[in-house]
């Protein structure tokens, strides 16, 4: 595990394996941001020329390495592009990305210092998050000979090292990054080692460690409570489902947030079987549940004055002789009936139960997080989540939090006709779990979920099917595999409310 500190040490004189600096794109060349004056002097005032000669363009995330200026001090200088800053102000997300790219470029260096611009505490937090998250590697299943070493000492060089706001920002970055790393670990774990009961036990252990109340409903309690959606999805698996409730209740809370997460620990599609290639990344179908659990614990660790009640609906969707069949009717928690016309549209079924239960707590806002539809990936790609809501105010509040946290998100509508189609598509139940049409799948799924939220409660649905799992190569602070998407948005949402 890496540690991170703040220091007022001079970038040219600090003893470290590597120093990461930024390079700003300007016109047809590059320039150095404030804070690199001493380093530039150490290179005889020709650092820009050196970097330009090596092909540096300042493009965001681009890495250029040069030997350190003083033998015995920093061994390597790592210059990372920060993109353009036409108004002179750098975006915190560019700093976060630069720190992540820089620490990845440093590979197994045991000490890395960051001489990136830190005009305020928000920039310090972004750099610290990027550094800690860029250092992440999932090595649990690697042999000791092949597992990369990722521990080490990270230092943010800043004139604000002794500033109270800067220290608070660093603490938040450490706690948030720790939560994101935990979520990444869960998402990356093979489903054979993280079934619903395992997942619930992991969440309970984490909650106990950090002083939040955790309750777990097993299959008997789910049956007694009438959670037909969760039970229906999980009935085809040898591993029974779970519903976990986590509650953080500080004194004098300024608002009450409810988080709901989809926790399908493996999704085969059920009897509506996925293709072989379509199943490969389906261990990640519990990323929403992982994110809401991780965020809740982080909020509690930070002591934010916001009450949080979290529900993670966990099941394994498998085909077997006991699996739910297309045309089966499930009675959901709360009494509504759903005809299951496609068993691969299962996430909305477990979430429906959890949303009704969350509504009973009467929170001020419910946010659900789910790797829900391939249709959202078709619409927005693999880097951007879709944000749906029952009020524009609630949606904008969450999207604003995402922007501040550096997570890409885009508002999408819930046309009223979608719910009408879900209702009319079943001739025997209150509604079907699909519309039967090949288009608008993400919108239909959102409409389905919205029907399980109690009247008068603000609700936002985040479809994170694209950004929750990176099937490509690592870049910036984002690794291959589980990304931990939505943790930072939810923590920012709570922090901005407090």
Query: How does DSSP assign 59-126, residue by residue?
Result: -TT-EEEEE-SSTTS-SEEEEEEEEE-TTS---HHHHHHHHHHHHHHTTT-SEEEEE---SSHHHHHH
pLDDT tens sequence across 402-417? 999 999 999 999 999 9
* Greater pLDDT, 75 or 33: 33
From the list 225, 240, 129, the residue with the least C-alpha distance to 177 is 129
Burial class (CB in 10 A: 0-12, 13-18, 19+), 474: middle
Cα dist from 291 to 53, 387, 486, whole Å: 43, 16, 6
Report the pLDDT value the prediction gives residue 53, as an integer from 0 to 100.
95
Q: Structure tokens of 260? A: 């709901």
Cα dist from 137 to 16, 182, 390, 483, whole Å: 22, 11, 38, 11
Question: What are the backbone angles phi and psi of residue 154, rounded to the nearest 5°?
Answer: -110, 140
Helix, coil or strand: residue 35: coil
Is residue 200 a contact partner of residue 156, using CB atoms and an 8 Å limit? no
73 noted as active-site residue: no
Report the pLDDT value the prediction gives residue 34, as an integer from 0 to 100.
84
pLDDT of residue 65 exceeding 60, the answer is yes
Q: Structure tokens of 497? A: 């409310």
What mean pLDDT is reported for the chain? 95
pLDDT category, 89, cuts 50, 70, 90?
confident
Is residue 338 a contact partner of residue 429, using CB atoms and an 8 Å limit? yes
pLDDT tens sequence across 251-270? 999 999 999 999 999 999 99
**Percent of the chain topping pLDDT 70:** 97
Average pLDDT on 479-489 reads: 98
Provide CB contacts within 8 A for 96, sequence distance 6+: 126, 127, 129, 130, 406, 476, 477
The Cα–Cα gap between 181 and 369 comes to 17
Lowest mean pLDDT among 121-130, 140-149, 232-241, 484-493: 140-149
Q: Considering the candidates 336, 348, 357, 397, report the single residue annotated as catalytic.
A: 348
pLDDT of residue 198 exceeding 70, the answer is yes
Helices (DSSP H) in 280-373: which residue ranges? Answer: 287-302, 347-360
Report the pLDDT value the prediction gives residue 146, as an integer from 0 to 100.
63
Is residue 333 a contact partner of residue 223, using CB atoms and an 8 Å limit? no
Lowest mean pLDDT among 40-44, 431-435, 489-493: 40-44
The Cα–Cα gap between 8 and 160 comes to 7
The Cα–Cα gap between 232 and 241 comes to 9
Q: Considering the candidates 59, 91, 274, 423, report the single residue annotated as catalytic.
A: 274
pLDDT category, 90, cuts 50, 70, 90?
confident
**Percent of the chain topping pLDDT 90:** 91
From the list 97, 54, 94, 96, the residue with the least C-alpha distance to 77 is 54
pLDDT tens sequence across 459-480? 999 999 999 999 999 999 999 9
Is residue 466 a contact partner of residue 380, using CB atoms and an 8 Å limit? yes
The Cα–Cα gap between 335 and 116 comes to 56
pLDDT tens sequence across 139-177? 999 987 665 555 589 999 999 999 999 999 999 999 999
pLDDT of residue 72 exceeding 90, the answer is no
Is residue 445 a contact partner of residue 345, using CB atoms and an 8 Å limit? yes
The Cα–Cα gap between 23 and 55 comes to 12
Report the pLDDT value the prediction gives residue 296, as an integer from 0 to 100.
98
Q: Structure tokens of 70? A: 């003083």
- The DSSP secondary structure of 438-492, one letter per residue, reads SS-HHHHHHHHHHTTSPTT-EEEEEE-TTTTEE-S--BTTBPSEE--TTHHHHHH
pLDDT of residue 31 exceeding 90, the answer is yes
172 noted as active-site residue: no
Report the pLDDT value the prediction gives residue 148, as an integer from 0 to 100.
59
Report the pLDDT value the prediction gives residue 150, as an integer from 0 to 100.
59
Helix, coil or strand: residue 161: coil
pLDDT tens sequence across 271-312? 999 999 999 999 999 999 999 999 999 999 999 999 999 999
From the list 352, 343, 327, the residue with the least C-alpha distance to 234 is 343
Residue 280's CB is within 10 A of a number of other CB atoms, namely 11
């Amino acid at each position: 595990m890496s540690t991170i500190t703040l220091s007022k040490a001079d970038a040219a004189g600090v003893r470290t394996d590597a120093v990461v600096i930024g390079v700003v794109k300007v016109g047809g060349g590059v320039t150095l941001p404030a804070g690199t004056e001493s380093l530039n002097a150490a290179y005889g005032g020709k650092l820009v020329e050196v970097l330009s000669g090596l092909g540096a363009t300042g493009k965001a995330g681009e890495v250029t390495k040069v030997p350190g200026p003083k033998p015995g001090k920093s061994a390597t200088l790592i210059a990372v592009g920060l993109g353009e800053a036409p108004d002179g102000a750098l975006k915190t997300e560019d700093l976060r990305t630069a720190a992540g790219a820089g620490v990845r470029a440093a590979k197994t260096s045991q000490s890395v210092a960051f001489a990136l611009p830190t005009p305020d505490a928000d920039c310090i937090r972004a750099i610290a998050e990027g550094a800690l998250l860029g250092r992440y590697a999932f090595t649990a299943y690697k042999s000791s000979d092949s597992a990369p070493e990722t521990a080490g000492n990270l230092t943010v060089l800043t004139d604000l090292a002794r500033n109270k706001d800067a220290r608070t920002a660093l603490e938040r970055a450490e706690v948030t990054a720790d939560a994101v790393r935990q979520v990444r670990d869960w998402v990356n774990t093979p489903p054979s080692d993280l079934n619903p009961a395992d997942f619930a036990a992991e969440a309970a252990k984490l909650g106990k460690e950090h002083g939040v109340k955790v309750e777990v409903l097993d299959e008997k309690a789910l049956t007694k409570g009438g959670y037909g959606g969760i039970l229906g999805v999980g009935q085809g698996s040898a591993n029974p489902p779970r519903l976990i409730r986590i509650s953080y209740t500080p004194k004098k809370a300024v608002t009450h947030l409810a988080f709901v997460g989809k926790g399908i620990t493996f999704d085969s599609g059920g009897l509506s079987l996925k293709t072989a290639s379509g199943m490969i990344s389906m261990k990640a179908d519990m990323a929403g549940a992982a994110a809401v659990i991780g965020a809740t614990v982080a909020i509690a660790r930070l002591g934010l004055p916001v009450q949080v009640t979290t529900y993670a609906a966990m099941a394994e969707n498998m085909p077997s002789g006991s699996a739910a069949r297309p045309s089966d009717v499930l009675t959901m928690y709360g009494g509504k009936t759903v005809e299951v016309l496609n068993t691969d549209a299962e996430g909305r079924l477990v979430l429906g139960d959890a949303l009704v239960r969350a509504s009973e707590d009467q929170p001020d806002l419910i946010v659900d997080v789910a790797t829900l539809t391939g249709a959202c990936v078709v619409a927005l790609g693999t880097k951007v989540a879709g944000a749906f809501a029952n009020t524009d105010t609630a949606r904008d509040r969450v999207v604003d939090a995402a922007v501040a946290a550096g997570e890409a998100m885009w508002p999408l509508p819930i046309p009223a006709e979608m719910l009408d189609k879900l209702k009319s598509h079943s001739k025997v139940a209150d509604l079907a779990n699909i519309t039967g049409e090949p288009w608008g799948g993400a919108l239909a799924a959102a409409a389905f979920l919205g029907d399980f939220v109690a009247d008068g409660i603000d609700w936002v649905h985040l479809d994170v099917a694209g950004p929750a799992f990176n099937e490509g190569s690592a870049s910036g602070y984002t690794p291959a595999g589980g990304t931990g998407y939505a943790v930072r948005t939810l923590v920012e949402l709570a922090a901005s409310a407090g």
